[in-house]
A and B are shown apart, each in its own frame.
Chain A
């Protein structure tokens, strides 16, 4: 079945460090791919998305490229800030009349000042 695998956390970095959170997926059909972010005590917010191969999603300095050949959608940011501390979820959806989003297990990111 469809699934998402992302790197286990927690990930701890110093401010201004480069960030990569790995995400790979298994899906039938042509999934759309998402990164959601959950700040402490809040619900999930869409961070970025990509709907077809080679698309790059970007927002708030974060980027991820839909790689069909490696079935990956890794999240990157060139210089992280303390305010980026949150839990990040990679997710996919496959279009159908009963679409649903399948989430990865989440990666907790902590940024030290």
Chain B
């Protein structure tokens, strides 16, 4: 059983194109996230949704727009792709954070985006 799945696994596209990455979780979690991992493996949060509501929006270009049709899905749409967008994008999910944040996040396998 796949807990957090992402499609596609690989995405190669040209500058200026618009693309989407889909994420689904079957864990019954309320909260979902998008992370970007650069070539040096540095991992940075981009967005977080709780029950379809945006709760974290880090400093990300507005070319990136997350969409959560329901609490099991969080898709990432990217407009006007740039070379610097090339990275691995990870989706994750968790239970709704508690008082001490004692939750763990479950990650998808990642989508490797290459912009040429």
Contacts and interface: CB of A to CB of B under 8 A. Distances in A.
A87 B110 CA distance: 15
A98 B55 contact: yes
Nearest to B45: A100
Nearest to A101: B105
Interface stretch (B61-69, B74-82, B92-100): B92-100
B101 interface: yes
Contacts of B4: 43
Given A95-B97, A106-B43, A51 B102 contact: yes
A103 B43 contact: yes
A24 B98 CA distance: 23
Interface in B5-48: 33, 40-45, 48
What interface size band does chain A fall in?
20 to 34
Contacts of A101: 45, 105
A16 B92 CA distance: 33
Nearest to B40: A105
SS class, residues of chain B in contact with chain A: loop
Of residues A51, A89, A101, A103, which shows the largest number of chain B Cβ atoms within 10 Å of its Cβ?
A101
Contacts of A95: 97-102
Interface stretch (A27-35, A60-68, A70-78): A27-35
Nearest first, the 7 A-B pairs at minimum CB distance are A99-B97, A95-B101, A43-B107, A93-B101, A95-B100, A106-B41, A44-B107
Interface of B: 4, 33, 40-45, 48, 55-56, 90, 92, 97-110
17 contacts: A30-B100, A32-B101, A34-B104, A43-B90, A43-B107, A43-B109, A44-B107, A45-B107, A46-B105, A49-B102, A93-B103, A94-B101, A97-B55, A97-B97, A98-B48, A103-B42, A103-B44
Given A102-B45, A108-B41, 14 more contacts: A31-B101, A43-B90, A43-B110, A44-B105, A45-B107, A95-B97, A95-B99, A95-B102, A99-B103, A100-B33, A101-B105, A103-B42, A103-B44, A105-B41
